[in-house]
Amino acid sequence: MAKTAKKGGGRSPGTVRLATWNINSVRLRIESVARFVAEQRPDILCLQETKVADDKFPALAFREMGFDTVLARGEKSYNGVAILSRLPLDDVAFENWGGKGDCRHLTARLPNGVALHNVYVPAGGDIPDAEANPKFGHKLAFLRDMIARFRGRKEPAILVGDFNIAPLETDVWSHKALLNVVSHTAGEVALLDDLMAAAPWHDAVRHFIPPEEQLYTWWSYRSPDWAAADKGRRLDHVWVTKGLAASLRNVAVARETRGWNPASDHVPVIVDFDLTP
């Protein structure tokens, strides 16, 4: 299975293509989004870190890309999530996980009844100590609220977004170097494991790409040559409830977009589903 998405990414008739991407300012990178949509033709596109209030969201640009349904929940300069869809969606709602009202979750229901959750988990700052670093405390509270929300729920669902946690040793360029770095600490990974067990969820990406294989979706802007250094982390995820695992058809990570200008530090994750009712 190739890690990098190929243009068009052939799929069977009736397959639904979903992509998730932390875009790090949707207005700044709207041309990159349009290029990605033209090349990969997603039916549903979930964005995080849109960094725009709802009244300034570029809805017309997305409708011109073919997305009839444009859902956005954002705030000026920070956070923000959006769901763009060629399919009709209903039951639109959001949760205030973490209690800060900071526009990090949006949900809607697909025509076949599957709930789609788009989430942007707080990054958590630089110090992995909830008392010394309120941002890290907010991240942990956010994750605990997510666990409580999904524990024991029986409805079929898809959970996508920037989780800001790289759980596996192969999800980071160096497990040893990052053990005490926010996004790969034991406490964060344990909470993410608890979240996965809550539904329970199934990792759609590792369904196709073995856990033994290195895989990243984020590379820091601080590296002058991100591709050569390749010090990445897999922070962006697509999970499905166990009953939907059989619907998975293909996965790709659009690594090439990290080299586009202006680039997000994250790249899209693409999953093809057979979501026939």
157 CB neighbour count, 10 Å cutoff: 22
* C-beta separation of 18 from 44 below 8 A: yes
Is pLDDT at 239 greater than 70 in this prediction? yes
* C-beta separation of 7 from 39 below 8 A: yes
Domain ranges, residue 234: 16-273
92 CB neighbour count, 10 Å cutoff: 13
What confidence score (pLDDT) does residue 275 get? 84
pLDDT per position as a tens digit, 188-219: 999 999 999 999 999 999 999 999 999 999 99
Block residue for tokens 């406490």 = 187
Q: Supply 58's token pair.
A: 């570029």
Is 1 among the domain residues? no
Is 9 among the domain residues? no
Q: What is the CATH number of the domain that holds 260?
A: 3.60.10.10
Is pLDDT at 183 greater than 50 in this prediction? yes
Distance, in Å, from the CA atom of 195 to the CA atom of 198, rounded to the nearest integer, reads: 5
Is 22 among the domain residues? yes
What confidence score (pLDDT) does residue 270 get? 98
pLDDT per position as a tens digit, 112-147: 999 999 999 999 999 999 999 999 999 999 999 999
* C-beta separation of 240 from 265 below 8 A: no
Confidence of residue 10 (pLDDT cuts 50, 70, 90): low
Strand segments, DSSP code E, in the chain are 16-22, 44-48, 69-75, 78-85, 90-93, 105-109, 115-120, 157-162, 201-203, 218-219, 232-233, 236-241, 248-253, 269-273
Is 3 among the domain residues? no
* C-beta separation of 81 from 105 below 8 A: yes
Percent of the chain with pLDDT over 70: 95
Q: How many domains does the chain fold into?
A: 1
pLDDT per position as a tens digit, 66-121: 999 999 999 999 999 999 999 999 999 999 999 999 999 999 999 999 999 999 99
Is 116 among the domain residues? yes
Is pLDDT at 1 greater than 60 in this prediction? no
Is 2 among the domain residues? no
- Is 29 exposed, middle or buried (CB count within 10 Å of its CB: 0-12, 13-18, 19+)? buried
Is 180 among the domain residues? yes
Is 4 among the domain residues? no
- Is 13 exposed, middle or buried (CB count within 10 Å of its CB: 0-12, 13-18, 19+)? exposed
Is pLDDT at 7 greater than 70 in this prediction? no
Block residue for tokens 């875009």 = 23
